[in-house]
């Protein structure tokens, strides 16, 4: 699991004992690139990622399936600039630190669009998420494309948010992905994970401060900061997942199709890709019984 506040539901589920006796193991990763490599290599059986990464995986092979929609970012992903910058237009000719990833490219693309800029107007500097806070504060870059909890820490230290996922509601969506073979061979484990995750989401809704104190530990922040970070995303429950994944017209499908077209335009996805077969609603349907 990457460091992103809604993903902490998995660790909350573990702490609450929802995964006891299930042989479910949670693995920490600092960057999407490392997590995806582990998933591709079969080191882990499932991975939580944004749909940009899902589509990258799908372009390389047809075996990947979305089994849970985790959240939609609503402010948690952002372009944050050093103090003194007042607008996106002011970044023309400046250095912007971006993780070498599909998500980083997408957020930068949408931010530049909003600011009336094109890629040639800025200097793109590769900076991984764990290094972004230091790079911005040290003046190595003028802005970074980042996400919580780095976003919140930078703003607390005087950085300026010039663009966020609030400006593009519903476009940055996190999903849980696994291989079709895992769905068939480890059904009980898959169901146990999904059930525990959804129970943790209910616990967060019922006892937010208590849950946030547990969820904050891995992120290195306090409960108040965790609650603020969680407010930057819409976290989906069972009913949301049934709407997004099940039925004749799953709500996630138009989002996937829009992303296919956007990623083609910015060059992070090549060739045709039909996302229809990427959705498998069976685990959430079993939760509804």
pLDDT tens profile 117-137: 999 999 999 999 889 999 999
Distance of CA 138 to the CA centre of its chain: 26
pLDDT given for residue 108 in this prediction: 96
Of the pLDDT bands very low, low, confident and very high (cuts 50, 70, 90), residue 62 is confident
**61, pLDDT greater than 90:** no
Interhelix angle 102-114/51-60, rounded to 10 degrees, is: 130
Can you give the C-alpha Rg of the chain in angstroms? 19
Residue 123's DSSP bridge partners are: 95
Give how far Cα 212 sits from Cα of 11, 151, 168, 220, 237, Å.
11, 18, 26, 12, 17
Using one digit for the tens of pLDDT, what is the confidence trace for 136-152? 999 999 999 999 989 99
pLDDT given for residue 146 in this prediction: 96
Of the pLDDT bands very low, low, confident and very high (cuts 50, 70, 90), residue 197 is very high
Q: E strand or H helix at 282, and its extent?
A: helix 282-287
**88, pLDDT greater than 90:** yes
Of the pLDDT bands very low, low, confident and very high (cuts 50, 70, 90), residue 283 is very high
The dihedrals phi and psi of 287, each to the nearest 5 degrees, come to -70, -25
Please say whether the beta carbons of 11 and 214 come within 8 A: yes
Burial level of 156, CB count in 10 A (0-12/13-18/19+)?
A: exposed
Using one digit for the tens of pLDDT, what is the confidence trace for 222-269? 999 999 999 999 999 999 999 999 999 999 999 999 999 989 888 888
């Amino acid at each position: 699991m990457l460091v992103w506040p809604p993903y902490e539901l998995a660790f909350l589920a573990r702490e609450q004992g929802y995964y006891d006796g299930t042989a479910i193991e949670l693995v920490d990763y600092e960057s999407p690139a490392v997590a995806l490599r582990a998933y591709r290599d079969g080191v882990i059986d499932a991975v939580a990622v944004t749909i940009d990464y899902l589509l990258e995986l799908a372009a390389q092979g047809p075996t990947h399936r979305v089994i849970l929609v985790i959240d939609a970012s609503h402010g948690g992903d952002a372009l944050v600039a050093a103090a003194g910058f007042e607008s996106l237009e002011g970044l023309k000719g400046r250095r912007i630190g971006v993780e070498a990833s599909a998500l980083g490219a997408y957020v930068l693309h949408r931010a530049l669009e909003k600011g009336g800029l094109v890629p040639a107007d800025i200097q793109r500097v590769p900076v991984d998420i764990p290094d972004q806070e230091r790079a911005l504060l040290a003046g190595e870059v003028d802005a970074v494309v980042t996400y919580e909890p780095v976003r919140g820490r930078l703003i607390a230290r005087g950085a300026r948010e010039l663009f966020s996922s609030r400006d593009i509601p519903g476009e940055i969506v996190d999903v849980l992905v696994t291989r079709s073979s895992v769905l068939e061979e480890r059904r009980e484990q898959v169901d146990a994970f999904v059930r525990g995750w959804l129970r943790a989401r209910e616990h967060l809704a019922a006892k937010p401060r208590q849950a946030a104190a547990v969820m904050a530990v891995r992120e290195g922040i306090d409960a108040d900061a965790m609650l603020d970070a969680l407010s930057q995303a819409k976290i989906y429950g069972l009913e949301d997942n049934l709407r997004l994944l099940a039925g004749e017209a799953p709500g996630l499908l138009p989002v996937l199709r829009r992303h296919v077209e956007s990623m083609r335009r910015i060059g992070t996805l090549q060739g045709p890709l039909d996302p229809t077969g990427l959705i498998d609603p069976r685990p959430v349907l079993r939760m509804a019984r």
